[in-house]
DNA sequence: TGCCGCTATTCTGCGTTACTATGTACCGGT
DNA sequence: ACCGGTACATAGTAACGCAGAATAGCGGCA
């Protein structure tokens, strides 16, 4: 599982952010909700740093009532474009694999 | 793309081998046929070595009319089981991503 | 006041994997 | 004797997710 997540997790997080801006801890919780129960927190934060540095998301610091300030991430235009590219690649992959799974060539 | 292939390519190759035994060069050609045009030969050979060492496939050396002897790989029982596990994980992934793509949570 | 527990973020070292690039070997045709 | 296609192999590099631990801020409780 962990190996199959490589590269995909990034798209998943971007897709989540395309619905609404969220912060790291919240994203992790949402992933767990979705069934990705064993994704390490550290993984998500590292990923967020990466996509921020690549300019796919904007960040806003928001004070929290319970804990240190939250870093709220939101998808920007570049991130949106990247996400669409991700979906194209994903479709390509699923098409090939569906074909394989259905035993045919 | 290259990152999304990680872990997936292994399943793809096992799926190909589940249809019929094949050798490295042939597998590479088949991948290219399928549209994975930029997968390096070295990648496939390295992967074949890995799955052989993990005991997922059997190997038989077969002389070739044109070139060095072929190493023909075939899926064994353990590989079959692993492939099924792979499909389960894959289904899990596609379900979540379909949901995300359809704008839902 | 001091400690615990929860929320929230960050960092380091590690293992796995695919890519690039290169090298080796064997064969048939000219 | 050479060349191109067949077939396999390996060394180095980079990306990514994981485990584990550390840090910071706040509220509640004794």
| CATH number corresponding to A2-101 | 1.10.10.10
| Cβ pair A7:B5 closer than 8 A | yes
Any strand C atom closer than 7 Å to B49 CB: no
| Cβ pair B8:A4 closer than 8 A | yes
| Cβ pair B97:A7 closer than 8 A | no
Find the radius of gyration of the CA atoms of chain B. Answer: 16
CB B56 within 8 A of CB B75: yes
Question: Pick from A1, A87, A94: which is nearest to B94 by CB?
Answer: A94
The fraction of chain A above a pLDDT of 90, given in percent, is 78
CA distances to A58, A67, B20, B78, B85 from B53, in Å: 45, 48, 20, 12, 18
CB A80 within 8 A of CB A88: no
| Domain limits, chain A | 2-101
pTM for the full model? Answer: 0.90
| pLDDT value at B7 more than 60 | yes
The band of B81, judged by pLDDT with boundaries at 50, 70 and 90, is very high
Question: Could you tell me how far CA A94 lies from the centroid of its own chain?
Answer: 18
Question: Pick from B7, B19, B100: which is nearest to A4 by CB?
Answer: B7
Whose CA is closest to A59, among A39, A45, A43? Answer: A45
| pLDDT value at B76 more than 90 | yes
* Residue from B17, B38, B93 to probe the interface with A (highest A Cβ count within 10 Å): B93
């Amino acid at each position: 599982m962990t190996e199959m997540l490589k590269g995909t997790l990034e798209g998943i997080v971007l897709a989540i952010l395309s619905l609404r801006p969220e912060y790291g801890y919240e994203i992790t919780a949402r992933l767990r909700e979705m069934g990705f129960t064993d994704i390490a927190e550290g993984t998500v934060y590292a990923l967020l740093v990466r996509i921020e540095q690549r300019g796919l998301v904007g960040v806003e610091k928001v004070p929290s009532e319970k804990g240190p300030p939250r870093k709220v991430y939101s998808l920007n235009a570049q991130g949106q474009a990247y996400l669409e590219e991700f979906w194209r690649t994903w479709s390509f992959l699923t098409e090939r694999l569906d074909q394989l799974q259905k035993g045919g060539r």
